[in-house]
């Protein structure tokens, strides 16, 4: 493999970056150096600090400590505007394009060409240049009249990348760019990235897909627990070594030991299907069991959880709760059938930030504290206080707004609101994202506690160490299907990671 | 008296700070007090019992009922532009049936049902189809206008001949209970019940939660759409009460006259909402908002200012109060 | 056992099936909605033409356009705010002060004309009045951060009050050369007001639909984050939209003085019909967004309904009902469409 000649020196250099959010440490002295004109990979499990690092670079947050150098110049405070003038552009997961614009309008918004000598937009020129650029870089054609909202996710992403290219960037940061791309489109993207590198653009490439990193990058930095644990040239490493580095080994004692004999099946899913999301998903969950669910973005794992709680309707298959079929579930019926969901987007769906801790804690069980429609406030308050004490929720009191709580304590509220409803099946979606280490352990303990009391728990997590540590079994979804099942006691995070990235090569090395 | 040296320079500034903090915290009460002081200085008549009763009867009673209805709509994160339609329909059914010789009680029930029907129409549009409350109730308002034109042969008022006004009807509009005007008694009862609903019932709690963060309510397994539907029916029903009282007072139904309350009801609701400590729709705030509007309207009249300054005064007041409260929010965030 | 290393990432499903599937369905449905409303428009015109022969005469069509001038100018002003404020009426773009603005501007114009000032002064004062009201709205929304619905509601109250103070709730008659010219008939007997409406919408349409500024207004309204990401001055654009809307109110005020030979009270009645007209306009655009052209069509549509009903001796107040039903139908259709796409 011949590396292209590139100018020496670093385009980006982070050293010893520290960043806290709500008391939780997101970065604990991470360093990263990206040489000019290279494709540099950045990997790590969820919560390792990747996205925090990217946000610091984008000027969206400021580091608590450490140095950021861009093109050899140290910058104490970065703003989004400054970053852009320095020639750094980001391809985000959420695409900032106006849905009712045509491709030409979306590409040229803010730098619209005018018909010479008039104040009017040169729509024809916009369309022609848009078509030319898309054809040149990606070899694709999008009709001039197509609106952004009519495009596929991949096409939108291509438009966004093209927007960045129009600024002739020096550094391009890709944040999980291929999660939504089909194979053909990803091929196009890879070709483009190599071409840009050959033209001298520096590329920072964040991805979960180790095989992509292996195929595309010149070097890779692995983050773990907010630190960089290694930076390796790809010529001297392999996907399996990277996988090994991503997974921490020193926190085994975080996971409480449980001694539960699982009871009878409380949830049975057979042949569940939702077209475009997942197919033929079958499994069962027993009382006292903690079942892990994992898969990359778009694997369908999250959609299975949504379907179980009735947020989406399956096209086919059956769900049985406690031996009784559950048809046409919606969240109200799901809750009546003793299901509980702790959603991933805690601040939007899990807790009402501008309501009090007490109000949140009884929101889903309010009927129990109601007589003839009237709230029995004394009992309600008692229950709130009991839950605050039992889960050790750190708050000024039940009348404090949930907004004032730390992420970990907000999450405890999101879980606790189901406890007084005596839910029997808990669906936890990424329960420890954005949660400090202390609260994490408490949440693990709580999960174990629920299982010991005979509930069934499904944990969806992309933190595989956690998943292996706290579950009894793990199902891995890939491309909408359950492709592997593991007994947690007999597997390793590496093996689960290999299965979820679809990398059979890693599997051979580790497994 | 040992005052720490460092403290001597401060008292005035801390008092100012405390005052400023107080204004920011309870701006509605402060505004109300200021307005009352101002007008009692400006006019000797203002603080007399007769005038205060006149404020309550003429400026407050009906508006407070309509505003309570609006508060429910705003509580679930919506708005109801068709409260006037519910008032009109209730009024029309009430007058027509009394005119047709039906007992006042039956006619009143039919009036309430008509208002609830308007609410139910909104509920279908909002909860079933998913149209935003603003647009749904705007459509209802327009359809309601035309329906009234059709029902009244092009907009003719329906009068109750003075001889034909039943006693119960007259009592509802002009009667007194223990010396208190009946409409005021009804408004007072509604204030109490609505306060209780928001403070002490599951329904009120869920409504507020829907208004604050609807997704959380849905994700908590609570039937939020059904709650919104019931709320809009309730809005129509409460507005219908105002319609009955209005009709009983003036003994005539004038098509599309209910709309006169709309903008003040929205204004008072949002004054009460944005100025409450938690920024939530609430009945005490709503009542204070209506009182504020009523007192300013009455006071401006008493101070000898031209009648037309009333609207400028109340409008400026609403504007100032809103600006203050949004400034307060920024202050709280900072 | 040798395993082929699959180096490419896979889509969630690995299906290369047309991702345009649902979007295409959405496009067709949107097309149907738009075609449907145009066909409905045509059918109504045809029905009127057949049942009331006078309907299609040049004189009558001219009347319709002339009578649409005032609501048309107001609806265009509101459309600018809808574009720059986004489709959520409660949190986004709405200007409830427009009709009151027209009333006050008309009163200012008529008062000055009556006091003997020339047309130039009166026009400038009326436009200034509208512009100031727009600026107050802009300040309330952009600087004070009050949601537009409440801010413009409060401003509406103040403005309507000032109009009452100024006019003492009476009609202020006014006749000036400009007013006579505006209320006369032009070529083919088409009222000058009608021509004014056409020229006005052409100019505003050119700015909003064909200049970079117009494009940016759409970006700011639909997706402020995208606007910010593209480096647009979001707040300035929003403020500008409110000022533009205020100027439209002032302009409509001048037109209304000419139409009624003076300023009259009760301009507030026009508010909600104008809101509905502007909201309905979105169905006439390919992207289902508010456009100046769509608003003009929608205004004429309402004008034709009123006119046709008058010719057929049906109470023109029933137009309200038709508008109400239309807006509910249109909004239901678009809501259900979006649900399908999501």
Does any CB of chain C come closer than 8 Å to the CB of residue B334?
no
| pLDDT tens readout for residues B88-139 | 999 999 999 999 989 999 999 999 999 999 999 999 999 998 888 988 998 9
Average the pLDDT over B247-276 and give the result: 88
State mean pLDDT over A375-391. 93
Q: Kindly state whether residues A193 and A241 are assigned to the same domain.
A: yes
* Strand partners for C182: none
Average pLDDT over residues C161-171: 89
Which pLDDT does position B52 carry in this prediction? 86
Across chain C, mean pLDDT equals 84
Residue B28 belongs to a domain: no
Q: So what's the pLDDT on residue C59?
A: 84
**Per-residue pLDDT tens for B163-186?**
778 888 889 888 888 888 999 999
Whether residue A369 is contained in a domain is answered as yes
* Domains (range + CATH), chain C: 45-341 (1.10.3470)
Give the pLDDT mean for C282-293. 86
**Which residues 82-111 of B are in CB contact (within 8 Å) with C?**
none
CB A326 within 8 A of CB A319: yes
What is the DSSP track for A123-161?
HHHHHHHHHHHHHHHH-----TT-BGGGS-HHHHHHHHH
Residue A429 lies in a domain: no
Lowest mean pLDDT among A367-371, B68-72, B270-274, C37-41: C37-41
Pull the structure tokens for residue A262. 């699982």
The ipTM assigned to this model is 0.83
Q: How far apart are CA C82 and CA C275, in angstroms?
A: 10
Q: Report which listed range, A326-335, B45-54, C279-288, is most confident.
A: A326-335
Q: Identify the sign of the CA torsion A405, A443, A379, B207.
A: positive
pLDDT range class, residue B23, cuts 50, 70, 90 = low
Q: How far apart are CA B316 and CA B28, in angstroms?
A: 15
Nearest CA-CA distance, residue B119 and chain C, Å? 15
Mutate to test the interface with A, among C2, C3, C8 (most CBs of A within 10 A): C8
Cα B10 to chain centroid distance, Å, stands at 43
Higher-confidence residue: B105 or C18?
B105
The torsion of the CA quartet A197, A201, A202, A205, rounded to 10 degrees, works out to -60
Instruction: Take residue B236 and report the two structure tokens written for it.
Output: 């129509």
Same domain, residue pair A9 and A117: no
Chains that touch B (3 or more CB pairs under 8 A): A, C
For A349, which DSSP code? I
**Which residue, B79, B77, B55, B56, is CA-closest to B67?**
B79
C15 contacts on A by Cβ (under 8 Å): 182, 276
Q: Do A109 and C5 touch (CB under 8 A)?
A: no
* Higher per-residue pLDDT: A502 or A460: A460
Residue of C12, C231, C288 lying closest to A479 (CB–CB): C12
**Do the bridges between strand A65-70 and strand A219-224 make them parallel or antiparallel, or are there none, so unpaired?**
unpaired
pLDDT of B154 higher than 80 = no
Encode pLDDT of C65-79 as tens digits.
999 999 999 999 999
**What is the band of B11 on the pLDDT scale with cuts at 50, 70, 90?**
very low
Who contacts A202 (Cβ-Cβ below 8 Å, separation ≥6)? Answer: A11, A12, A34, A35, A36, A37, A38, A40, A170, A171, A172
From A246, A276, A303, give the residue that closes a domain: A246
Asked if C227 has any chain A CB less than 8 Å from its own CB, the reply is yes
* Of residues A426 and C32, more confidently modeled: A426
Which residue in A340, A373, A421 is closest to B203 by CB distance? A373
Share of chain B above pLDDT 70, in %: 90
Higher-confidence residue of C193 and B31: namely C193
The answer, for B128 touching chain C at a CB cutoff of 8 Å, is: no
A184: in domain: yes
- pLDDT for res B284: 92
- Among the residue ranges A306-315, A328-337, B40-49, B179-188, the one predicted with the least confidence is B40-49
The answer to whether residues A67 and A122 belong to one domain is: no
Which B residues, 262 through 301, put their C-beta within 8 Å of a C-beta on chain C? 263, 266-267, 270
Both A111 and A235 in one domain: the answer is: no
The pLDDT assigned to C27 comes to 64
Report, as an integer, the average pLDDT of C297-307.
89
Last residue within a domain, chosen from A246, A278, A300: A246
Q: Could you tell me which residues are beta bridge partners of residue A426?
A: A340, A457
Task: Give the other-Cβ count within 10 Å of A236's Cβ.
Answer: 8
A30 touches chain B (CB under 8 A): no
Count of domains for chain A: 3
Region of poorest pLDDT, from A310-314, A502-506, B212-216, B308-312: A502-506
Sign of CA dihedral C89, C94, C100, C103: negative
CA distance A123 to chain C (A): 8
Residue B1 resides in a domain: no
Residue B22 lies in a domain: no
Cβ atoms A342, A309 nearer than 8 A: no
Contact C279 B135 (CB under 8 A): yes
Q: How far apart are CA C159 and CA C137, in angstroms?
A: 11
Rounded to 5°, angle at Cα A130 from A126 and A136: 145
Average pLDDT (A307-326) is 92
Together in a domain, A175 and A45: yes
Interface B:C, Cβ pairs < 8 A: 147
CB contact under 8 A, B308 and C90: no
Q: Environment class of residue B205 by beta-carbon count within 10 Å: exposed (0-12), middle (13-18) or buried (19+)? A: buried
Work out the angle between the directed axes of helices C119-138 and C234-260 (0-180°, nearest 10): 140
* pLDDT tens, position by position, A197-244: 998 999 999 887 777 888 889 999 999 888 898 899 988 888 778 878
Q: A423 near A340, Cβ under 8 Å? A: yes
CATH code of the domain in which B188 resides: 1.10.3470
Instruction: List chains touching C (3+ CB pairs under 8 A).
Output: A, B
Confidence of residue A319 (pLDDT cuts 50, 70, 90): very high
Asked whether residue A189 falls in the same domain as residue A163, the answer is no
Q: For every residue of A224-266, which 3-state class applies, written as one string?
A: ECCEEEEEEEHHHCCHHHHHHHHCCCCCHHHCCCCCCCCCCEE
Structural domain includes residue B13: no
Burial (CB < 10 A; 0-12, 13-18, 19+), residue A484, is middle
Q: What are the angstrom distances between the C-alpha of A444 and each of A422, B15, B146?
A: 19, 50, 62
Q: Is residue B81 part of a domain?
A: yes
Residue B318 sits at the chain C interface (C-beta within 8 Å): yes
> How many domains are contained in chain B?
1
In a 3-state reduction of DSSP, which class is residue A76? Answer: coil
Residues from chain C that touch A81, judged by Cβ atoms under 8 A, are 231
Is there a single domain that holds both residue A188 and residue A46? yes
The verdict on A156 and A181 lying in the same domain is: no
Lowest mean pLDDT among A254-268, A355-369, C3-17: C3-17
B276-292 mean pLDDT: 89
CA B311 to chain centroid, in Å, comes to: 17
Residues of B in contact with C140 (CB under 8 A): 319, 322-323
Structural domain harbouring A363: 354-422
Question: CB of A300 within 8 A of CB of A320?
Answer: no
A113 lies in the same domain as A239: no
- Domain assignment present for A295: no
To test the contact with chain B by mutation, choose from C140, C150, C270 the residue with the greatest count of B C-beta atoms within 10 A, namely C150
| pLDDT (0 to 100) of residue A509 | 37
pLDDT of residue A166: 85
Residue B91 has what DSSP assignment?
Answer: H
B209–A contact, CB cutoff 8 A: yes
Which chain C residue shows the shortest CA-CA distance from A295? C12
Q: Do B219 and A370 touch (CB under 8 A)?
A: no
Angle, vertex CA A299, rays to CA A298 and CA A305, nearest 5: 95
- In this model, does residue A95 exceed pLDDT 70? no
| Mean pLDDT lowest among A42-46, A481-485, B233-237 | A42-46
Does the pLDDT of residue C126 top 90, yes or no? yes
For C212, the closest of A114, A154, A180 (CB atoms) is A114
Ranked by mean pLDDT, which of A408-417, A469-478, B111-120 comes out on top? B111-120
Q: Which residues contact A257 (CB under 8 A, 6 or more apart)?
A: none
B308 close contact with C: CB closer than 8 A: yes
**Which residues in chain C have Cβ-Cβ distances shorter than 8 Å to B315?**
154-161
Contacts of A60 (CB under 8 A, 6+ apart): A80
Residue A175's domain is classified under what CATH number? 3.40.50.300
Quickly tell me which residue has 């104040």 as its tokens. Answer: A119
Strand order in the sheet with A24-35: A24-35, A10-21, A65-70, A73-74
Measured CB to CB, residues of chain C less than 8 Å from chain B are 88-90, 140, 144-146, 149-151, 153-162, 164-165, 168-169, 272, 275-276, 279, 315, 317-325, 327-328, 331-332, 335-336, 339
Interface test with C, best of A98, A149, A188, A302 (most C CBs within 10 A): A98
Tokens read off for A473: 């079994």
Domain limit, last residue, from A198, A218, A246: A246
Q: What ranges in B130-223 are assigned the alpha helix state H?
A: 133-151, 167-174, 182-200, 202-212, 214-219
Contacting residues of C for B143, CB less than 8 Å apart: 320-321, 324-325, 328
Do the domain assignments include residue A57? yes
Q: CB of A300 within 8 A of CB of A277?
A: yes
Is residue B295 situated within a structural domain?
Answer: yes
Q: Quick check: B319 and C88 CB within 8 A? A: no
Average pLDDT over residues B139-155: 88
- How confident is the model at residue C159, as a pLDDT? 93
What domain range is B257 assigned to?
36-333
Statement: residue A90 has pLDDT above 90? no
Is A387 part of any domain?
yes
Is the CB of B322 less than 8 angstroms away from the CB of C161?
no
Residues B202, A349: C-beta atoms closer than 8 Å: no
Cβ contact (<8 Å) for C3 and A508?
yes
Q: What does the block give as tokens for A117?
A: 């000598």
Q: Which residue has the higher pLDDT, A375 or C31?
A: A375
pLDDT of residue C268: 81
Q: Which string of DSSP letters, residue by residue, matches A291-333?
A: EEEE--TTSSHHHHHHHHTTSS--SEEEEEETTEE--S--HHH
Residues composing chain C: 342
Domain shared by A189 and A75, yes or no: yes
**What value does the mean pLDDT take over residues C4-10?**
30
**φ and ψ at residue A154, rounded to 5 degrees:** -65, -40
The Cα of C185 is separated from the nearest Cα of chain B by a number of Å equal to 32
In terms of domains, do A45 and A157 share one?
no
Per CB-CB distance under 8 Å, the chain C contacts of A147 are 287
The pLDDT value given to residue B238: 98
Segment (H or E) for B83: helix B83-99
Alpha carbon of C192: minimum distance to chain A alpha carbons (Å) = 28
Do the domain assignments include residue B2?
A: no
From the list A100, A120, A151, which residue is nearest C222 (CB)? Answer: A100
Enumerate the residues of chain B whose CB falls inside 8 A of the CB of residue A369. 202
Residues A196 and A215 in one domain: yes
HSE (side-chain half, CA atoms, 13 Å) at C18: 7
Please tell me which residue of chain B has the smallest CA distance to C156.
B315
Is the model's pLDDT at C217 over the cut of 60?
Answer: yes
Asked if the structure places residue B48 within a domain, the reply is: yes
Of A287-296, A349-358, C6-15, give the lowest mean pLDDT range. Answer: C6-15
């Amino acid at each position: 493999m011949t590396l292209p000649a590139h100018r020496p020196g670093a385009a980006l250099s982070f050293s010893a970056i520290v960043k806290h959010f709500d008391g939780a440490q997101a970065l604990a002295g991470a360093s990263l150096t990206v040489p000019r004109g290279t494709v540099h990979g950045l990997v790590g499990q969820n919560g390792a600090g990747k996205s925090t690092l990217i946000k610091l670079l984008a000027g969206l947050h400021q580091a608590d400590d450490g140095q950021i150098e861009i093109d050899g110049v140290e910058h104490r405070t970065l703003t989004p505007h400054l970053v852009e003038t320095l020639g750094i552009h980001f391809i985000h997961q959420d695409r900032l394009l106006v849905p009712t614009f045509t491709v030409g309008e979306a590409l040229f918004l803010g730098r619209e060409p005018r018909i010479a000598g008039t104040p009017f937009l040169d729509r024809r020129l916009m369309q022609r240049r848009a078509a030319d650029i898309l054809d040149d870089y990606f070899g694709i054609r999008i009709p001039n009249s197509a609106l952004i909202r009519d495009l596929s996710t991949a096409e939108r992403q291509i438009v966004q990348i093209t927007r960045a290219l129009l600024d002739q960037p020096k550094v391009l940061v890709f944040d999980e760019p291929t999660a939504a791309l089909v194979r053909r489109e990803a091929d196009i993207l890879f070709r483009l990235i190599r071409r840009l590198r050959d033209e001298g653009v520096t590329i920072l490439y964040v991805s979960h897909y180790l095989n992509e990193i292996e195929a595309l990058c010149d070097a890779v930095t692995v983050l773990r627990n907010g630190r960089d644990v290694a930076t390796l040239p790809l010529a001297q490493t392999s996907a399996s070594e990277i996988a090994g580095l991503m997974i921490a080994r020193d926190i085994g004692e975080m996971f409480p030991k449980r001694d539960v004999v699982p009871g009878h099946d409380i949830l049975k899913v057979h042949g569940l299907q939702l077209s475009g999301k997942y197919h033929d998903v079958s499994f069962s969950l027993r009382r006292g069991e903690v079942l892990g669910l994992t898969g990359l973005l778009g694997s369908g794992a999250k959609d299975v959880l949504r379907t179980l709680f009735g947020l989406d309707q399956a096209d086919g298959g059956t769900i049985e709760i406690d031996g009784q079929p559950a048809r046409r579930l919606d969240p109200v019926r799901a809750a009546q059938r003793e299901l509980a969901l702790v959603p991933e987007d805690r601040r939007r769906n899990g807790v009402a930030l501008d309501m009090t801790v007490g109000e949140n804690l009884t929101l889903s069980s309010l009927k129990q504290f109601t007589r003839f429609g009237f709230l029995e406030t004394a009992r309600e308050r008692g229950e709130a206080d009991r839950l605050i004490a039992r889960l050790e929720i750190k708050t000024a009191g039940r009348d404090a707004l949930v907004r004032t709580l730390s992420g970990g304590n907000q999450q405890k509220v999101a879980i606790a609101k189901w406890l007084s409803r005596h839910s029997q099946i808990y669906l936890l979606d990424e329960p420890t994202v954005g949660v400090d280490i202390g609260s994490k352990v408490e949440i693990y303990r709580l999960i174990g506690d629920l299982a010991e009391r005979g509930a069934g728990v499904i944990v969806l997590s992309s933190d595989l160490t956690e998943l292996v540590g706290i579950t009894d079994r793990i199902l891995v979804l890939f491309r909408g299907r359950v492709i592997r099942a593991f007994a947690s006691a007999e597997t390793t995070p590496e093996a689960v990671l290999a299965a979820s990235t679809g990398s059979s090569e890693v599997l051979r090395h580790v497994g | 008296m040992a005052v720490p040296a460092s403290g001597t320079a401060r008292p005035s500034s801390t008092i100012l700070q405390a005052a400023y903090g107080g204004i920011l915290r309870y701006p509605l009460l402060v505004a109300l007090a200021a307005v009352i002081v101002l007008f009692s200085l400006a006019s000797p008549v203002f603080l007399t019992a007769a005038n205060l009763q006149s404020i309550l009867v003429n400026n407050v009673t009906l508006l407070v009922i309509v505003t309570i209805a609006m508060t429910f709509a705003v509580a679930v994160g919506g708005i109801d532009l068709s409260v006037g339609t519910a008032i009109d329909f209730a009024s029309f059914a009430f007058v027509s049936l009394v005119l047709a010789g039906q007992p006042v009680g039956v006619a009143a029930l039919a009036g309430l049902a008509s208002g609830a029907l308007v609410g139910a129409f909104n509920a279908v549009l909002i909860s079933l189809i998913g149209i935003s409350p603003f647009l749904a109730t705007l459509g209802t308002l327009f359809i309601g206008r035309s329906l009234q034109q059709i029902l009244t042969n092009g907009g003719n008022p329906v009068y109750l001949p003075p001889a034909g006004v039943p006693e119960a009807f007259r009592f509802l509009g002009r009667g007194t209970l223990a010396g208190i005007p009946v409409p005021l008694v009804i408004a007072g009862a509604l204030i109490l019940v609505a306060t209780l609903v928001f403070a002490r019932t599951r329904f009120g709690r869920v409504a507020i939660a829907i208004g604050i963060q609807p997704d959380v309510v849905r994700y908590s397994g609570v039937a939020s759409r059904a709650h919104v539907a019931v709320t809009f029916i309730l809005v129509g029903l409460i507005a219908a009460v105002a319609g009955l009282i209005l009709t009983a007072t003036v003994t005539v139904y004038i098509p599309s006259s209910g709309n006169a309350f709309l903008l003040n009801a929205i204004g008072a609701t949002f004054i009460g909402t944005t100025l409450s400590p938690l920024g939530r729709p609430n009945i005490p705030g709503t009542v204070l908002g209506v009182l504020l509007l009523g007192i300013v309207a009455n006071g401006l009249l008493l101070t000898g200012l031209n009648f037309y300054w009333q609207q400028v005064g109340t409008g400026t007041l609403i504007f100032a109060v809103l600006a203050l409260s949004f400034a307060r929010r920024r202050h709280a965030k900072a | 056992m040798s395993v082929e290393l699959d180096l490419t990432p896979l889509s969630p499903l690995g299906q290369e099936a047309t991702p345009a599937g649902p979007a295409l369905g959405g496009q067709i449905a949107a097309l149907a909605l738009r075609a449907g409303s145009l066909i409905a428009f045509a059918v109504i015109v045809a029905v009127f033409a057949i049942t009331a022969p006078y309907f299609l005469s040049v004189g009558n069509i001219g009347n319709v356009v002339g009578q649409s001038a005032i609501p048309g100018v107001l609806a265009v002003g509101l459309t600018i705010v809808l574009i720059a404020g986004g489709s959520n009426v409660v949190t986004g773009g709405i200007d409830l002060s427009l009709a009151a603005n027209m009333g006050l501007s008309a009163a200012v114009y008529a008062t000055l004309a009556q006091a003997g000032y020339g047309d130039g002064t009166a026009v400038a004062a009326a436009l200034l009045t509208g512009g100031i009201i727009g600026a107050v709205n802009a300040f309330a929304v952009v600087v004070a951060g009050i949601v537009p619905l409440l801010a413009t509601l409060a401003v509406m109250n103040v403005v309507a009050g000032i109009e009452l103070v100024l006019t003492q709730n009476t009609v202020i008659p006014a006749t000036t050369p400009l007013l006579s010219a505006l209320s006369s008939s032009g070529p083919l007997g088409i009222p000058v007001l009608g021509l004014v409406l056409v020229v006005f919408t052409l100019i505003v349409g050119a700015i909003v639909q064909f200049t970079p500024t117009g494009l940016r207004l759409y970006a700011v309204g639909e997706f402020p984050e995208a606007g910010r990401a593209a480096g647009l001055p979001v707040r300035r654009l929003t403020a500008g939209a409110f000022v533009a809307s205020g100027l439209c109110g002032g302009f409509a005020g001048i037109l209304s003085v000419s139409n009624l030979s003076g300023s009259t009270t009760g301009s507030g009645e026009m508010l909600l019909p104008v809101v509905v007209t502007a909201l309905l306009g979105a169905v006439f655009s390919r992207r289902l967004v508010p456009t100046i052209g769509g608003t003009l069509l929608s205004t004429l549509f309402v004008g034709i309904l009123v006119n046709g009903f008058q010719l057929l001796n049906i109470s023109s107040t029933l137009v309200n009902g038709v508008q109400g039903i239309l807006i509910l139908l249109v909004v239901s259709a678009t809501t259900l469409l979006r649900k399908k796409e999501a």
